[in-house]
Amino acid sequence: GESVGLHLPTLSVQEGDNSIINCAYSNSASDYFIWYKQESGKGPQFIIDIRSNMDKRQGQRVTVLLNKTVKHLSLQIAATQPGDSAVYFCAETLWANNLFFGTGTRLTVIP
Amino acid sequence: ETGVTQTPRHLVMGMTNKKSLKCEQHLGHNAMYWYKQSAKKPLELMFVYNFKEQTENNSVPSRFSPECPNSSHLFLHLHTLQPEDSALYLCASSQENRGADTQYFGPGTRLTVL
């Protein structure tokens, strides 16, 4: 079955620095990837997605990079703010199938 | 978080109790999901409903019984649970049951089984 995992369970960054959260996936057939953010006491919230025919996609202060050769996904957050402190999940799927979520990385922003 | 609401937010129950979790979505979606979130584990998909029909039961024990009376409401009926069932139960909805359809999550119900 699919396996979605994260390289690091925790990440601490200084406010204002850039953050990079990594994710590895095992199913080379997956064609759609999503990053979710979950703040304490809340459900996961969609951040950004990317299809397998793209290498990079940018949003507001966030960028997702996809490296299909090594089956690696990353989320970059520019100028990290205290409000970015949360657990970040990557998820993968085949277009019409269910999502498979990773275990999550806890990002802590140090003021 | 008015898109998907869940009640109650917290629930403590004994192993012999019967309780129900409720989820309501105000997004006009046709697919609804139940997930279980335990510490240090990936989100586990439990059930999927698409246009009120159950399309996925991910080998969930029968002590969990879902109900979807319409596309806006989803229930999870609980009976004779075990302490290991303690977790955060998340409801989500999407336009249809396709991985590419963004899922919108509710805040979850924190369940503790004594």
Q: What mean pLDDT do residues A35-47 have?
A: 94
**What residue type is assigned to position B92 of the chain?**
A
pLDDT at B58: 85
Q: Is B39 on the interface with A (CB under 8 A)?
A: no
Residue A4 — very low, low, confident or very high, per pLDDT cuts 50/70/90? low
**pLDDT for residue A88:** 95
Strand partners, B54: B49
Is B99–A45 a contact, with Cβ atoms under 8 angstroms apart?
A: no
Tens-binned pLDDT, residue by residue, of chain B (114 aa): 469 999 999 999 999 999 999 999 999 999 999 999 998 788 999 999 999 999 888 899 999 999 999 999 999 999 999 999 999 999 999 998 877 788 999 999 999 999
Closest CA to B97 of A94, A28, A3: A94
Residue of B8, B103, B51 lying closest to A97 (CA atoms): B103
Q: For residue A3, what pLDDT band results from cuts at 50, 70 and 90?
A: very low
pLDDT level of residue A103 (50, 70, 90 thresholds): confident
Residues of A in contact with B56 (CB under 8 A): 98
Residue B45 near chain A (CB below 8 Å): yes
Quote the CA–CA distance of A24 and A30 in Å, as a whole number: 12
Which candidate in B105, B109, B110 is best for mutational testing of the A interface (most A CBs within 10 A)? B105
What local confidence, expressed as pLDDT, does residue B7 receive? 98
A28 DSSP 8-state letter: T
Which comes out higher in pLDDT, residue B73 or A6? B73
Q: Show the tokens assigned to A62.
A: 């966030």
Give the mean model confidence (pLDDT) for residues A95-102. 80
| Distance from the B58 Cα atom to the nearest Cα atom in chain A, whole angstroms | 11
Cβ distance A44 to B4 less than 8 Å, yes or no, reads no
CB A15 within 8 Å of CB A82: yes
The DSSP result for chain B, as a single string, is --SEEEE-SEEEE-TT-EEEEEEEE-S--SEEEEEEE-TTS--EEEEEEETTEEEEE-S--TTEEEEEEETTEEEEEEES--GGG-EEEEEEEESSS-TTSPPEE---EEEEE-
* pLDDT-based confidence at residue A95 (cuts at 50, 70, 90): low
pLDDT at residue A96 is higher than 70: no
